[in-house]
């Protein structure tokens, strides 16, 4: 869309439009995550009022499913964007300088899918506990991972920093979902 808007004339303007688009996209995704949480919460309460004897699915389980859904959608979009880059003509990637772009894109897609699962769990936990700062942290880490490509042209560094965020968010999601060292030992 950025190329069409500026008629393929101005590279820096195109880059700034892409950055703006990424920020708007992340904000909209997180707003949808919140709306989805509210919808699931209302549905759960409605199920409890209709069938008081039956237990509704836990919000932890719904957070996992929601995060997985967001992750798969994000992964599909990433995959389609990468495929469109491979068809040419033009440069590969945003900066056009890495022959390993497709390899990095594949790994980054996997990281993004897992991050969405973890963000979903942490986000829903923050909503349940009414700790709104947690939602802000999810939004900011989502923005950071999405903006890395614009900040640095080194895809390996971007992947490594996204992986660090993945490990931190995964640990947080594990603890928010009720995980402990004892349960991890039992699982292993």
In a domain, 8, yes or no: no
In a domain, 13, yes or no: no
pTM exceeds 0.85: no
Q: How many domains does the chain contain in total?
A: 1
Residues 148, 75, 13, CA angle at the centre, nearest 5°?
40
In a domain, 24, yes or no: yes
CA 148 – CA 23 distance, rounded (Å): 12
CB atoms within 10 A of CB 104: 18
Instruction: Give the H or E element holding residue 120.
Output: helix 101-129
In a domain, 125, yes or no: yes
CB atoms within 10 A of CB 108: 22
Provide the residue-wise pLDDT of the chain in tens; the chain has 188 residues: 555 666 655 667 777 777 888 889 889 989 998 999 999 888 888 888 888 877 777 787 888 788 888 888 888 877 777 676 666 655 555 555 566 777 788 888 889 899 999 999 999 999 999 999 999 999 999 999 988 877 777 778 888 999 999 999 999 999 998 888 888 888 78
Of the candidates 99, 102, 41, 98, the one whose C-alpha atom is nearest the C-alpha of residue 66 is 41
Cβ pair 21, 1 in contact under 8 A: yes
Both tokens assigned to 82: 């990468």
Cβ pair 101, 93 in contact under 8 A: yes
What residue numbers bound the domain in which 172 lies?
19-49+56-187
In a domain, 11, yes or no: no
């Amino acid at each position: 869309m950025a190329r069409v808007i500026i008629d393929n004339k101005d590279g820096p303007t195109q880059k700034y439009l892409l950055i703006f688009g990424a920020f708007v996209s992340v904000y909209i995704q997180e707003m949808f995550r919140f709306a989805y949480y509210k919808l699931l919460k209302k549905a759960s309460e409605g199920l409890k009022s209709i069938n008081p004897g039956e237990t509704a699915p836990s919000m932890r389980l719904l957070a996992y499913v929601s995060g997985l859904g967001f992750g798969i959608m994000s992964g599909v979009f990433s995959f389609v964007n990468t495929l469109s880059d491979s068809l040419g003509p033009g440069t590969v990637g945003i900066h056009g300088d890495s022959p390993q772009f497709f390899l990095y894109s594949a790994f980054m897609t996997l990281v993004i899918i897992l991050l969405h699962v973890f963000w979903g769990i942490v986000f829903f936990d923050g909503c349940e506990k009414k700790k709104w700062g947690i939602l802000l942290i999810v939004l900011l880490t989502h923005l950071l991972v999405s903006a890395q490509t614009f900040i640095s042209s080194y895809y390996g560094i971007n992947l490594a920093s996204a992986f660090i965020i993945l490990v931190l968010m995964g640990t947080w999601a594990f603890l928010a979902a009720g995980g402990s060292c004892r349960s991890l030992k039992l699982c292993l």
